[in-house]
Amino acid sequence: MKCILVFCGLWTFTHCARILGVFQMPTFSHQIVYQAIWQELALRGHHVTIITSHPLKDHKLTGLKEVDVSEATLKAKQENSFVGFMLKEQNVYSRVQNLFEVHYRLAEAVLSDKAFIEIYNASGAQFDVVLAETLVSPTLYALAAKLKAPLVGVSSLGAWIGVHYAIGNPSPPSLYSDMLLPFHRQMTFSEKVVSTVYYIWVRYYLNFEALPKCDQIARKYLGNDIPYIQDIEKNMSLLLLTTNPILYEPRPNVPTVISMEQMHIKPVKPLPKDLKQFLDNAKEGVVYFSLGSNVKSINIPEKLRKVLIEAFAELPYKVLWKFEADDLPGKPENVLIGKWIPQQDVLAHPNVKVFVTQCGLQSVEEAVARGVPMVGMPFIADQTRNIQRLSEEGAAVGLEHTTLTKEEFKNAIFEVVNNPKYKQNVKRLGEIWVDHPLPSLNRTIWWIEYVIRHKGTKHLRSPTADVSWFEYLLIDVILVLLTIVSLALFILYVAIKFILRMIFGGRKLKQN
């Protein structure tokens, strides 16, 4: 009874909080994670204002106000060819620089939106917390400073190394590879060298190029009466990351880093009639193929598309292909295409034997949640790391799309379908991912409300956030110790030299 009263007290204290959420990346796979959060906050009675490219438009959520910025943000993303420069074939330094360029444009697109300007510039604008999408650029964090509200970072992936630096999370390059590097777990010596050089470059790039630009954009729209953008990021009250113990290395985190997983997984819903009939009739099994919302099957090279079509035509299974066009030239008889497919519900169908995927994190989570083994074909971002880990766990087979042959593709599908270990390992991973004291969404909402209740988390802030890399690596201490040792050795050298001169110099004088 006492526990119930305490819970009711906390609920009353955080009831009807004013929450602003800014989620700028116009990609469904990102937004679907955030939607679960703002929907649940609205259902709990909070007044929620969301800036997004994918509004829910649910009129039942009376406390939810959504500002649709899809047109401007999508234009900003396309102008920089997001998918093109994020391809794993591009070097990581170019990817980071181009990723920041996209986010500069996205920030300007959001901050210049007329409907949003009326919100953040309103004289009576007051919010109890600001939720901001976290990837690389901290520009939009400045909204929290302008509105004098605690900042909560939310990511649909893990955290980029710059975010770890800002909040003081331990990130030695010899142990933890950045999410944009293909390394994982125990790195080789050469990988450690590459990781270290990359980390040093990131420090330089952030301090002398990226952060000054972010600060300039923030001040252009929000005024000069805000702290420097790096200081705002350092004072983040909470960082919510979509991570799990399988794809991400276990690491020590500061208290304000909270892990989420499978946030967007929904209960299974009935399939459309025609799709259900196709899957029900596929007694021999179904191969489901989708490259997600960023890469898109319609954009893959013609050579790769030809390999896929020829391989699918020779499979004894039905194939369901998410293809973003009305027609697929050369489509085999056993293939059904669809511009949009209810992926979670399809993966739940018992006749689906394998999921051919680009290995984006949300697609992987859906496959694991539904117990479907994978054939991974990574293209961009963290997808290479994801398929490496899944392959090590025996839950998937990885392929290289740039050199893929028909036989290689067919063999990978046959291996996953016919070898029961892949199905067993996916189920094992699913059991690990959901084994927590609280469901992921409940845990996430509790922490956001914790920030609201205590008006931030200064009491949990790590002192490492205020320590420079010079001090963190003890370079100042090492230099002082080296100076002391060098001085002691020099004094000892002078003393010995003086004593020897006195001894041997005195003898020589006596002999003379």
11-15, 172-176, 269-273: range with lowest mean pLDDT: 11-15
Given a contact cutoff of 8 angstroms between Cβ atoms, the answer to whether 218 and 139 are in contact is: yes
Q: Where are the domains positioned within the chain?
A: 15-261+438-466, 273-433, 473-503
**Residue-wise pLDDT tens digits, 351-375:** 999 999 999 999 999 999 999 999 9
Q: How far apart are CA 90 and CA 99, in angstroms?
A: 12
CA 478 to chain centroid: 36
Please choose, from the candidates 183, 161, 179, the residue with its C-alpha nearest in 3D space to the C-alpha of residue 170.
Answer: 161
Given a contact cutoff of 8 angstroms between Cβ atoms, the answer to whether 460 and 169 are in contact is: no
User: Is the model's pLDDT at 468 over the cut of 90?
Assistant: no
Q: At what angle do helices 28-43 and 361-370 cross, to 10 degrees?
A: 70
Please choose, from the candidates 105, 121, 129, the residue with its C-alpha nearest in 3D space to the C-alpha of residue 50.
Answer: 129
Res 10: pLDDT: 47
Q: How far apart are CA 446 and CA 448, in angstroms?
A: 6
Q: How far apart are CA 169 and CA 243, in angstroms?
A: 15
Of residues 140 and 324, more confidence is placed in 140
The secondary element (H helix, E strand) that includes residue 286 is strand 286-290
User: Is the model's pLDDT at 117 over the cut of 60?
Assistant: yes
Long-range contacts from 364-368, C-beta under 8 angstroms, 24+ separation: 364/247, 364/390, 365/244, 365/261, 365/262, 365/264, 365/265, 365/433, 366/265, 367/426, 368/262, 368/395, 368/426, 368/429, 368/430, 368/433
Res 510: pLDDT: 58
Q: Bridge-partner residues for 357, per DSSP? A: 290, 376
How would residue 3 be classed by pLDDT, with cut points 50, 70 and 90? very low
Res 5: pLDDT: 44
| DSSP secondary structure of 178-227 | -TTSS--SS--HHHHHHHHHHHHHHHHHIIIIIHHHHHHHHHHHH-S-S-
**Residue-wise pLDDT tens digits, 46-78:** 999 999 999 999 989 999 999 999 999 888 877
Given a contact cutoff of 8 angstroms between Cβ atoms, the answer to whether 357 and 363 are in contact is: yes
Res 272: pLDDT: 93
Find the distance separating the first CA and the last CA of the chain, reported in whole Å.
104
Q: How far apart are CA 190 and CA 338, in angstroms?
A: 44
Name residue, tokens 């979509």.
Answer: 242
Class of the 15-261+438-466 domain? alpha beta
Q: How far apart are CA 428 and CA 368, in angstroms?
A: 9
**What tokens appear for 231 in the block?**
């200081």
- Tell me what percent of the residues of the chain surpass a pLDDT of 70: 93
User: Is the model's pLDDT at 38 over the cut of 90?
Assistant: yes
- Mean pLDDT for 485-501 is 91
Given a contact cutoff of 8 angstroms between Cβ atoms, the answer to whether 134 and 103 are in contact is: no
- Mean pLDDT for 422-433 is 94
75-79, 320-324, 461-465: range with lowest mean pLDDT: 75-79
User: Is the model's pLDDT at 456 over the cut of 90?
Assistant: yes
Q: How far apart are CA 312 and CA 306, in angstroms?
A: 10
Q: How far apart are CA 151 and CA 131, in angstroms?
A: 6
How does DSSP classify residue 151?
E
- Count Cβ atoms below 10 Å from residue 401 Cβ, excluding itself: 20
Q: How far apart are CA 316 and CA 413, in angstroms?
A: 11
84-93, 331-340, 503-512: range with lowest mean pLDDT: 503-512
Res 509: pLDDT: 52
Question: How does the average pLDDT of the chain come out, rounded?
Answer: 89
**What tokens appear for 365 in the block?**
């989570």
- Determine the Cα angle at 210 with ends 203 and 188, to 5°: 35
Q: How far apart are CA 106 and CA 479, in angstroms?
A: 44
User: Is the model's pLDDT at 473 over the cut of 90?
Assistant: no
- Tell me what percent of the residues of the chain surpass a pLDDT of 90: 67
* Cα distances (angstroms) measured from residue 313 to each of 309, 319, 468: 6, 9, 59
User: Is the model's pLDDT at 89 over the cut of 90?
Assistant: no
Given a contact cutoff of 8 angstroms between Cβ atoms, the answer to whether 413 and 315 are in contact is: yes
Given a contact cutoff of 8 angstroms between Cβ atoms, the answer to whether 377 and 399 are in contact is: yes
The three-state DSSP-derived secondary structure of 394-443 is CCEEECCCCCCCHHHHHHHHHHHHHCHHHHHHHHHHHHHHCCCCCCHHHH
Alpha-carbon torsion, ordered 50, 460, 230, 163, to 10 deg: -70
Res 475: pLDDT: 85
9-18, 198-207, 213-222, 263-272: range with lowest mean pLDDT: 9-18
- Mean pLDDT for 25-38 is 92
Q: Which CATH number fits domain 273-433: 1.50.10.10, 2.20.25.10, 3.40.50.2000, 2.70.98.60?
A: 3.40.50.2000
Helices and strands, number each (H, E), in the chain = 21, 13
CB-based contacts of 264, cutoff 8 Å, min separation 6:
32, 33, 35, 36, 362, 365
Asked if the domains 15-261+438-466 and 273-433 are classified in one and the same CATH topology, the answer is: yes
Name residue, tokens 């939310």.
Answer: 154
**What tokens appear for 226 in the block?**
């805000």
- Give the SS3 label for residue 44: coil
User: Is the model's pLDDT at 175 over the cut of 90?
Assistant: no
